[in-house]
């Protein structure tokens, strides 16, 4: 009897896991990742211009993301920022993989072993100097630039696009770059 209950419990948990992980979407509903996407042009240093605040970037300014290719085809992600409360630099190293194909700006990123979150380039200029990036839901949004500032027309275009998709752009934190 106990063995039967244990087998039933394991079967139910396995079924829940399969449904949960097979239905995972790394892209917020209604958004579309950039395609065609050129990962070689995207590689390099990006300055975070604005973001939705969340635990891992709490109290950080001077935040950057640096991307490079790993030998196995994944992308090395190095996020760095200055914690203005503790007055210390913080760095996280992770990896990113393309969700479908390398010509689509839909990736999954991990900083903690097998756990991945969405990283979706939903707008980018033709020179790959400015990007609008969404996470896997409407709680994560970033505006990135190759420079510490972004032209006002690009900023307004990205804000307008994000708002039209359903992001609460009024909650963006504008990142200071002073170090």
Show the tokens assigned to 56. 């891992």
Residues 6+ apart with CB under 8 A from 35: 103, 104, 105
pLDDT tens digits, one per residue of 22-69: 335 688 899 999 999 999 999 999 999 999 998 889 999 999 999 999
Domains of the chain: 27-174 (2.40.128.20)
**Taking CA 78 as the corner, what is the angle to CA 127 and CA 144, rounded to the nearest 5 degrees?**
35
Q: pTM to 2 decimals?
A: 0.85
Instruction: Annotate 87-140 with three-state secondary structure.
Output: CEEEEEEEEEEECCCCCCCEEEEEEECCEEEEEEEEEECCCCCEEEEECCCCCC
pLDDT tens digits, one per residue of 76-128: 999 999 999 999 999 999 999 999 999 999 999 999 888 899 999 999 999 99
């Amino acid at each position: 009897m106990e063995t039967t209950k244990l087998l039933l419990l394991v079967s139910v948990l396995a079924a829940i896991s399969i449904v949960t992980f097979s239905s995972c979407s790394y892209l917020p509903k209604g958004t579309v990742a950039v395609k065609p996407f050129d990962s070689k042009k995207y590689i390099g240093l990006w300055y975070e211009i604005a973001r939705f605040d969340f635990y891992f970037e709490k109290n950080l300014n001077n935040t950057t993301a640096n991307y490079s290719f790993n030998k196995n085809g994944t992308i090395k992600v190095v996020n760095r920022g200055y914690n203005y409360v503790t007055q210390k630099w913080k760095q996280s190293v992770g990896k990113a993989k393309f969700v479908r194909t390398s010509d689509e700006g839909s990736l999954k990123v991990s900083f903690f072993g097998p756990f991945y979150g969405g990283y979706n380039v939903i707008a980018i200029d033709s020179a790959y100097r400015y990007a609008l990036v969404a996470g896997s839901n409407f709680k994560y949004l970033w505006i990135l630039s190759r420079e510490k500032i972004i032209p006002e027309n690009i900023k307004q275009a990205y804000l307008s696009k994000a708002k039209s998709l359903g992001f609460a752009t009024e909650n963006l934190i504008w990142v200071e770059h002073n170090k």
